[in-house]
């Protein structure tokens, strides 16, 4: 069911796949070991501590196998139905070695294998080795969170009072709406620049620089494919045609912390502007690619916003304290919390996990591997896929020519699928499609662009694509 175009391999020295396997993954596993080590140190129950230590040994063994280019071993059965499929595919792929395996399969396998250690334990089920990192990075996004909360509240209050519309023609209003839609979408798009699996190379200061409104304006020209207008047209058309009907927008989530915060900013805006009547969020069932959202991360985010003052001023691990929020800042964050919780209570903001999202396969497989998910997505006006991994899965992380149309590269999710797909992705991997002829060469020619050897420009999260496919037309 997958496309014939070959995938990127960890053995290809010119691909980010090889950098990932050699440099990033060992650092990520080391981080997981450090986290667990710390938690084990805080545990008083002896049996639990002992079991925790044996999970640390399993993690160390995994790191050893990766660094010594051993074969990937079949996953232990933790009772979930996806294990058989991971193992069957491993066999079909000839039980490859870590440094000569399709990147996408190996990276999914890595996180799934870590999950088995916890799922098969007695005391550590559901433990997430990335939680500490996720929450502390969200905290360090404080300046951008406060800026956005203030902007959002101002807009919501303006919309409520009808002030923005005074004396304006229908055309002006439409133009203003379109601009606002683009602004909200760009906020949501660039929120993806800050996933934690790349944190092995970014500092917190870098993150803050990536998140403010200045940064966003400066980055507009870095959106090298931009189908936002087409997306706005369909949303607006749906609002006209189904004025009083259900109009759902789905967001296949990517990262926790700042990114899900901006996803909710966009979702809240779509609901308030009447461009959608419900938003369905799709998180991951298990800790995934370091920072991806699990249902618990969603509730942790909301909990941190109930009392923003307490959250932001609590000392961190090192004992460092932070200045208090002003009354207005705390009220702005609280406003968001109240609105989002209300939407959640009213059934307009729904969280819907599905085990398919943490399988190893690309989204070309959805129609036959998860037909009920496929049918469910057809009910939506627009399905927004956030982030790099979702984009790699839509396109099977394959070595497409960069001029391949997006609609071709997403196969069964494209034309005639009955699903409208919109991908928001800051580029952090080699696969990119839908570019005009000559664009890849231009970008390769820039400083650090990679030249003839590699598509390095596409690895850093500095460039973005917003690609649309109208599968319902």
Q: Which stretch binds ligand F6P (CB under 6 A): 86-94, 337-345, 362-370, 383-391?
A: 383-391
86 binds Mg ion (CB under 5 A): no
User: Nearest to residue 320, comparing CAs of 207, 212, 204, 201?
Assistant: 204
224 and 440 in contact (C-beta within 8 Å)? Answer: no
Per-position x/- string for 163-202, each x denoting binding to ligand F6P as judged by CB under 6 A, each - no binding: -----------------------------x--x-xx----
User: Nearest to residue 165, comparing CAs of 148, 180, 143?
Assistant: 180
Toward ligand F6P, which CB reaches closer, 20 or 219? Answer: 20
Minimum distance of Mg ion from residue 190's CB (angstroms): 14
Angle between helices 295-306 and 258-272 (to 10 degrees): 80
281-300 positions binding ligand F6P, by CB under 6 A? 289
Minimum distance of ligand F6P from residue 451's CB (angstroms): 20
Per-position x/- string for 248-267, each x denoting binding to ligand F6P as judged by CB under 6 A, each - no binding: ------xx------------
Q: Which residue among 292, 329, 440, 470 contacts Mg ion (CB under 5 A)?
A: 292
Q: Which stretch binds Mg ion (CB under 5 A): 61-69, 188-196, 276-284, 344-352?
A: 188-196
Minimum distance of ligand F6P from residue 254's CB (angstroms): 5
Q: Which residue among 7, 11, 18, 20 contacts ligand F6P (CB under 6 A)?
A: 20
DSSP structural state of residue 401:
-
Q: Which stretch binds Mg ion (CB under 5 A): 48-56, 157-165, 253-261, 315-323?
A: 253-261
| Cα distance between residue 199 and residue 211, in whole Å | 15
Toward ligand F6P, which CB reaches closer, 148 or 389? Answer: 389
Q: Which residue among 329, 388, 440, 470 contacts ligand F6P (CB under 6 A)?
A: 388
Give the 3-state DSSP-derived string for 416-451, with helices as H, strands as E and coil as C: CCCCEEEEEEECCCCCCCCCCCCHHHHHHCCCCCCC
Q: Which stretch binds ligand F6P (CB under 6 A): 45-53, 202-210, 277-285, 387-395?
A: 387-395
The site partner of 392 among ligand F6P, Mg ion, none (C-beta below 5 to 8 Å per kind) is ligand F6P
Q: Which residue among 392, 420, 444, 455 contacts ligand F6P (CB under 6 A)?
A: 392
Toward Mg ion, which CB reaches closer, 56 or 189? Answer: 189
Minimum distance of ligand F6P from residue 163's CB (angstroms): 37
Q: How far is CA 257 from CA 15, 140, 290, 301, in A?
A: 29, 10, 12, 7
Quote the longest CA-to-CA distance of the chain.
71
Toward ligand F6P, which CB reaches closer, 139 or 428? Answer: 428
195 binds Mg ion (CB under 5 A): yes
| Tally: H helices and E strands in the chain | 20, 7
Q: Which residue among 255, 277, 396, 404 contacts Mg ion (CB under 5 A)?
A: 255
Residue count (the chain): 473
| Cα distance between residue 345 and residue 302, in whole Å | 13
| Cα distance between residue 251 and residue 467, in whole Å | 14
| Cα distance between residue 303 and residue 159, in whole Å | 27
- Dihedral sign for Cα 55, 57, 62, 66, please: positive
Six-digit token string for 41: 């140190």
Minimum distance of ligand F6P from residue 295's CB (angstroms): 17
**Phi, psi for residue 392 in degrees, rounded to 5:** -65, -35
Q: State whether residue 75 is helix, strand or coil.
A: coil
| Cα distance between residue 279 and residue 248, in whole Å | 6
User: Nearest to residue 255, comparing CAs of 290, 293, 282, 286?
Assistant: 293
Q: How far is CA 370 from CA 79, 353, 355, 362, 466, in A?
A: 19, 13, 9, 12, 25
Q: Which residue among 139, 284, 428, 456 contacts ligand F6P (CB under 6 A)?
A: 428
Q: Which residue among 254, 329, 332, 440 contacts Mg ion (CB under 5 A)?
A: 254
Q: Which residue among 103, 232, 289, 385 contacts Mg ion (CB under 5 A)?
A: 289
Toward Mg ion, which CB reaches closer, 87 or 255? Answer: 255
Per-position x/- string for 332-351, each x denoting binding to ligand F6P as judged by CB under 6 A, each - no binding: --------------------
107 binds Mg ion (CB under 5 A): no
Please report, as ranges, the residues that interact with ligand F6P according to CB under 6 A. Answer: 16, 20, 107, 192, 195, 197-198, 254-255, 289, 387-389, 392, 428-429
Please report, as ranges, the residues that interact with Mg ion according to CB under 5 A. Answer: 195, 254-255, 289, 292
């Amino acid at each position: 069911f997958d496309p014939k175009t070959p995938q990127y391999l960890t053995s290809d020295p010119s691909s980010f796949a090889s950098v990932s396997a050699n440099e990033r993954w060992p650092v990520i596993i080391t981080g997981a070991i450090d986290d667990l080590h710390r938690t084990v140190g805080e545990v008083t129950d002896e049996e639990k501590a002992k079991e925790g230590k044996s999970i640390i040994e399993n993690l160390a063994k995994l790191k050893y196998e990766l660094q010594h280019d051993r074969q990937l071993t079949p996953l232990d059965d933790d009772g979930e139905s996806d294990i058989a499929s991971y193992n069957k595919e491993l066999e079909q792929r000839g039980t490859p070695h870590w440094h000569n395996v399709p990147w996408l399969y190996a990276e999914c396998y890595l996180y799934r294998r870590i999950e088995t250690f916890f799922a098969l334990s007695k005391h550590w089920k559901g433990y997430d080795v990335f939680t500490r990192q996720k929450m502390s990075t969200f905290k360090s996004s404080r300046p951008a969170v406060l800026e956005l909360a203030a902007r959002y509240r101002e807009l919501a209050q303006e919309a409520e009072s009808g002030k923005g519309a005074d004396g304006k023609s229908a055309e002006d209003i439409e133009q203003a709406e379109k601009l606002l839609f683009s602004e909200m979408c760009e906020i949501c798009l660039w929120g993806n620049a800050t996933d934690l699996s790349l944190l092995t190379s970014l500092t917190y200061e870098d993150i803050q620089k990536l998140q403010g409104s200045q940064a966003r304006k400066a980055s507009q020209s870095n959106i090298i494919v931009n189908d936002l207008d087409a997306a706005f047209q369909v949303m607006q058309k749906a609002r006209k045609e189904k004025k009083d009907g259900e109009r759902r927008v789905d967001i296949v989530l990517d990262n926790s912390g700042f990114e899900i915060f901006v996803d909710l900013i966009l979702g809240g805006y779509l609901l308030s502007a009447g461009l959608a009547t419900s938003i369905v969020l799709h998180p991951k069932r298990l800790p995934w690619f370091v920072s991806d959202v699990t249902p618990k991360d969603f509730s942790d985010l909301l909990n941190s916003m109930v009392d923003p003052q307490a959250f932001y001023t609590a000392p961190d691990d090192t004992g460092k304290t932070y200045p208090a929020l002003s009354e207005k800042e705390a009220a702005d964050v609280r406003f968001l919390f109240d609105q989002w919780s209300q939407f959640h209570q009213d059934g307009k903001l729904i969280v819907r996990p599905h085990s398919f999202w943490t399988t190893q396969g690309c989204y070309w497989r959805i129609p036959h591997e998860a037909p009920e998910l496929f049918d469910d997505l057809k009910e939506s006006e627009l399905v927004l896929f956030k982030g790099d991994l979702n984009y790699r899965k839509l396109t099977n992380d394959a070595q497409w020519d960069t001029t391949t149309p997006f609609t071709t590269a997403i196969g069964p999710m494209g034309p005639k699928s009955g699903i409208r797909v919109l991908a928001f992705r800051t580029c952090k991997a080699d696969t990119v499609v839908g570019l005009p002829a000559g664009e890849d060469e231009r970008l390769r020619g820039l400083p650090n662009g990679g030249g003839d050897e590699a598509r390095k420009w596409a690895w850093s999260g500095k460039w973005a694509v917003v690609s649309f496919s109208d599968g319902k037309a």
